[in-house]
Structure 1
Amino acid sequence: MADKELKYETVDPQAKGFEAVQRAFANQVAYCRDNGAPVTATICQALYDLLETERGGAVMRRVRKWAGPPLADALPLRLAGGLHALHLADEDPSLSAIYLEQRVSNPAELVADAIERHEAFLMPWLDGPPQTNEAGRSWAYAAAMLWLADKGLSAKFALNEIGSSAGINLMLRRYFFDLGGVTAGPKGAQMRLVPEWRGSPPPDTEYEIVAAQGCDVKPVDLTDPAQALRLKAYIWPEFTERFARMDAAIAAADRMPPEITRETADVFVERVLAQPAEPGVTRVIMHSVVWQYVPEAQREKITEAIEKAGAAATEESPIAWISLEANRDTHRHELTVRYWAGNEGGGKEWQRLGVAHPHGTWVDWEG
């Protein structure tokens, strides 16, 4: 089937079965194509084309008979990550022709050959969700803190991130931001984030990060070259600036690694919110491109824990919830915030502050 025929369709993310597998790959093709990732779209298109064939050995047999919900499990990105890792390690020159954007007459055949040659290497990539830690998304946390401080919340923030992966966004106190002309962070930082800013800038105020910790069910150690390579494999190859940001994050972790615990998101949130609040500090629960991977039962517990703590929050000890998650209808990421500071009715509704490119290339600010 030609690439242009694959369209994104909103479906139940918990759907299972072969048709759900096909839809997951078709949606991934459309999503990549619409977000300027033609190479990754070609890889996912090739995988989609293989679904109704017998090619791909045990790896593709497992994909076709996927037991869980393929969309919620991000199944296409699991396998795409493994294939990209083969290219990054220079293990398969034929496959690399696609990544180098050379003329290829039959991408599906090249991908099938690579899968069959590297079955033992690729099979473990199906065992867990992709790790898509991206420093470019930390603009959202910085902008949200500026906005919250402007709303009267304490400008001293204690960050608690779920799904931290390698903890790249937990290190944002060491990053420099230029957000539509409003700057934050150390000016001499190696990590410099300057998204294309659309609309008015965020409030021109200041914030201070007094603590930062996170959790992940499978934390990534950036100081381990093998784990760092795995994280790079999930970066879409079209976005070369993301590799530079990853190298800067690795350098930052080498100097002082982020604080991450191996813990489920609900247990982490319940634990940190059960601890006494520090007066004069805004406690933040935050996440980016994580919520879709958190099981529904855990999401309910997290929401309940935050709302319970929010009801007890005061002007002296406020609580904020910062979310940067994908809108699957628009293919854009939305920054939304809830906060509680002892005000009547506080935190009842999400407030959308902006929409952005998935990796923070541009931001359309609404706050």
Structure 2
Amino acid sequence: MSGDEAKYEKVDPQAKGFEAVKRAFANQVAYCRDNGAPVTAEICEALLGLLDTERGGAVMRRVRKWAGAPLADALPLRIAGGLHALHLGDQDAALSAIYLRQRVSNPRDVVADAIERHEAFLMPWLDGPPQTNEAGRSWAYAAAMLWLADKGLPAQFALNEIGSSAGINLMMRRYFFDLGGMTAGPGGAQMRLVPEWRGPPPPDTAYDIVGARGCDIAPVDLTDPAQALRLKAYIWPEFTERFARMDAAIAAANTMPPEIARESADVFVEKVLAEPAEPGVTRVIMHSIVWQYVPEYQREKVTEAIEAAGAKATQDAPLAWISLEADRDTHRHELSVRYWPDNEGGGEEWQRLGVAHPHGAWVEWEAV
């Protein structure tokens, strides 16, 4: 399969084997092209081309013989992150030419040479999933809280996020949002999020965040320069505004770091929901671009715990579940919400509020 033939194809995310590896890279090429990331698409296209060769040393041999499910494991983004880190660290001038959009006659050979030169550096990047914490997605939590408050839930929210990574979304009380003209957050905030808004604005109300904590199996410490650089490596280089947001998040973390437990999603949610509910506060379980990485048995336990707690929720101490996850058919992210008790009918079922660009550049608001 060549890069020119790379088209997104919906497949079983748990599929394994060499053909699944090739499909994962082809899908990533198509996904990047469809989302305005030509440089990342070119890198992934070069990697796709290497799969049918002997180039790339031990790194590519490991990729070709990937033991897990390459799509569910986000294998293309693991190695793409490592290559981007080489560029950010000025460690390979030939490779950097691709990132700088300079004329490169054979990107596949350039990428292969870089992989072979930096084998020891790149191999650990295959050991864990990419960290894609992105402040631009916190618009979804803000808009969902405005919508929930308009539905009559207490406007005091306690946030509990699974897959928090560096906890960038947990610091959103310090961010300013302009959501189609509806504003929230401190006006003087360094982090200002103003997505292109399509459709009516969210409800004209207000919210306050009275608590924010999260979990991750491998939390990232933004106050550690090495870990912060690693997180930047997972940002697609085309999106310069995301680097500015990351710098603002790093500054916020150095002022007051977020609270993140090193725990799996199911353990964290069960602990949170076992605590007594606070009157006048809406408890929230939330996640963005995480669900696909959570093992199925954990997803089942999280769902069971939330639904059990929802059955006990009261008007004065409700529970909400906010989800911003990818639809791999449309290449958009869907914001959906469930809440308990069911004040107006239908709250216990998923309600889609809108769809958005993967990194929050634009939002199509659908809720009424």
TM-score if structure 2 supplies the norm length? 0.99
The aligned counterpart of 1:306 is 306
- The 8 Å contact of residues 39 and 99 in structure 1, kept in 2 or not, is answered as yes
Give the residue type in structure 2 aligned to 1:153: L
State the Cα RMSD in Å: 0.9
The aligned counterpart of 2:25 is 25
Percent same amino acid among aligned pairs?
A: 85
The aligned counterpart of 1:138 is 138
Select between 227-236 and 343-352 the one with higher mean Cα deviation: 343-352
The aligned counterpart of 1:339 is 339
1:349 Cα offset (Å): 1.3
1:47-69 per-position Cα deviation (integer Å, ceiling 9, x unaligned): 00000000000000000000000
Q: Equivalents in 2 of 1:339, 1:357: separation in Å?
A: 24
The aligned counterpart of 1:291 is 291
The answer as to 2:243 corresponding to 1:243 is: yes
The aligned counterpart of 1:199 is 199
- The 8 Å contact of residues 153 and 341 in structure 1, kept in 2 or not, is answered as no
The answer as to 2:175 corresponding to 1:175 is: yes
1:229-285 per-position Cα deviation (integer Å, ceiling 9, x unaligned): 000000000000000000000000000000000000000000000000000000000
The aligned counterpart of 2:253 is 253
The aligned counterpart of 1:326 is 326
Give the residue type in structure 1 aligned to 2:6: L
Q: Equivalents in 2 of 1:197, 1:70: separation in Å?
A: 34
1:343 Cα offset (Å): 4.2
- The 8 Å contact of residues 311 and 342 in structure 1, kept in 2 or not, is answered as no
Q: Equivalents in 2 of 1:3, 1:54: separation in Å?
A: 18
Give the residue type in structure 2 aligned to 1:215: C
Give the residue type in structure 1 aligned to 2:192: R
User: Which runs of structure 2 are paired with 1:102-113 in the superposition (5 Å)?
Assistant: 102-113=102-113
Q: Equivalents in 2 of 1:5, 1:41: separation in Å?
A: 13
1:4 Cα offset (Å): 3.2
1:348 Cα offset (Å): 3.2
1:347 Cα offset (Å): 4.2
Give the gaps of 5 or more residues in structure 1: none
SS in structure 1 at match of 2:285: strand
Give the gaps of 5 or more residues in structure 2: none
- The 8 Å contact of residues 85 and 233 in structure 1, kept in 2 or not, is answered as yes
SS in structure 1 at match of 2:278: coil
The aligned counterpart of 2:121 is 121
- The 8 Å contact of residues 314 and 342 in structure 1, kept in 2 or not, is answered as no
Give the residue type in structure 1 aligned to 2:286: M
- The number of equivalent residue pairs is 367
Q: Equivalents in 2 of 1:324, 1:106: separation in Å?
A: 38
Give the residue type in structure 1 aligned to 2:156: K
SS in structure 2 at match of 1:348: coil
Give the residue type in structure 2 aligned to 1:26: A
Give the residue type in structure 1 aligned to 2:314: T
The aligned counterpart of 2:65 is 65
SS in structure 2 at match of 1:102: coil
The aligned counterpart of 2:352 is 352
Q: Equivalents in 2 of 1:5, 1:131: separation in Å?
A: 28
- The 8 Å contact of residues 310 and 347 in structure 1, kept in 2 or not, is answered as no
Q: Equivalents in 1 of 2:346, 2:211: separation in Å?
A: 24
User: Which runs of structure 2 are paired with 1:145-164 in the superposition (5 Å)?
Assistant: 145-164=145-164
1:357 Cα offset (Å): 0.2
Give the residue type in structure 1 aligned to 2:176: F
